[in-house]
């Protein structure tokens, strides 16, 4: 229950906080964790979903490719290939207050959204291209979120070096949130009963 209340408090803070978009050549200045997609080896073309969950991140299902050293800023060694215009999602195992990722994309403008429990809590649009170091990393800081969703109108892109900043409590399950709502309602009814007695 304590963990759920902490996550809920982070969510309430997120609702009132203003996120800082991250658009730069390095991402976070001091990430707690960086997932390079070289932690575990796979064959080229392997669909990546939860294989990196132990490192704190899952994806919405994109292809893995190993190219060694990439000429693109933000991409180094193994990476995830994003070959469609369907939005891709990076989900974190805990609520975080900062996260960024290396991104190389055919020239376009992308919509980057911070999500908390599938609800958009902050977003920004950014023109990106595969060879611009100034837009090599995208992300957010200063707000609580548990996923980043990116939508583009052209295919082909690479994702790498997912940086995770301060992590909070584990993301609560929907059933746990329902139990919390019932407990809070019961506490409110009990308080009213005591006042009227």
Q: In this structure, is residue 143 part of a structural domain?
A: yes
Q: In this structure, is residue 189 part of a structural domain?
A: no
Averaged pLDDT, 150-176: 74
Q: In this structure, is residue 183 part of a structural domain?
A: no
Number of domains in the chain: 1
Q: In this structure, is residue 29 part of a structural domain?
A: yes
63: domain CATH number? Answer: 2.60.120
Q: In this structure, is residue 117 part of a structural domain?
A: yes
Nearby residues of 122 by Cβ (< 8 Å), 6 or more positions away: 18, 19, 21, 113, 114, 140, 143, 145
Q: For residue range 37-59, what is the model confidence (pLDDT) as tens digits?
A: 999 999 888 999 999 999 999 99
Among 40, 43, 23, 6, which Cα is nearest to 148's?
A: 23
Q: In this structure, is residue 197 part of a structural domain?
A: no
Strands 88-105 and 119-128, bridge-based pairing:
unpaired
CA pair distance 13, 50, nearest whole angstrom:
28
Where is average pLDDT lowest: 77-81, 153-157, 192-196?
192-196
Q: In this structure, is residue 135 part of a structural domain?
A: yes
Q: For residue range 81-119, what is the model confidence (pLDDT) as tens digits?
A: 987 778 999 999 999 999 999 999 989 999 999 999 999
How buried is residue 68: exposed, middle or buried, by Cβ count under 10 Å (0-12/13-18/19+)? Answer: exposed
Residue 63 sits in which domain range? 2-172
Q: In this structure, is residue 177 part of a structural domain?
A: no
């Amino acid at each position: 229950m304590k963990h759920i209340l902490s996550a809920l408090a982070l969510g309430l803070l997120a609702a009132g906080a203003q996120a800082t978009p991250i658009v730069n050549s390095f991402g976070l200045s001091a990430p707690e964790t960086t997932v390079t997609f070289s932690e575990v080896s796979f064959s080229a073309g392997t669909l990546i979903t939860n294989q990196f969950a132990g490192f704190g991140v899952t994806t919405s299902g994109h292809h893995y490719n190993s190219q060694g050293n990439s000429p693109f800023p933000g991409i180094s060694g193994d990476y995830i290939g994003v070959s469609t215009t369907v939005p891709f999602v990076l989900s974190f195992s805990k609520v975080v207050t900062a996260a960024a990722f290396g991104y190389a994309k055919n020239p376009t403008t992308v919509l980057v959204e911070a999500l908390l429990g599938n609800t958009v809590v902050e977003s920004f649009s950014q023109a990106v291209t595969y060879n611009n170091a100034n837009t090599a990393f995208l992300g957010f800081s200063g707000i609580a979120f548990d996923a980043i969703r990116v939508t583009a109108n052209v295919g082909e892109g690479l994702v790498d070096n997912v940086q995770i900043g301060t992590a909070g409590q584990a993301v609560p399950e929907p059933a746990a949130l329902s139990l919390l709502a019932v407990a809070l309602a019961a506490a409110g009814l009990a308080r009213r009963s005591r006042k009227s007695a």
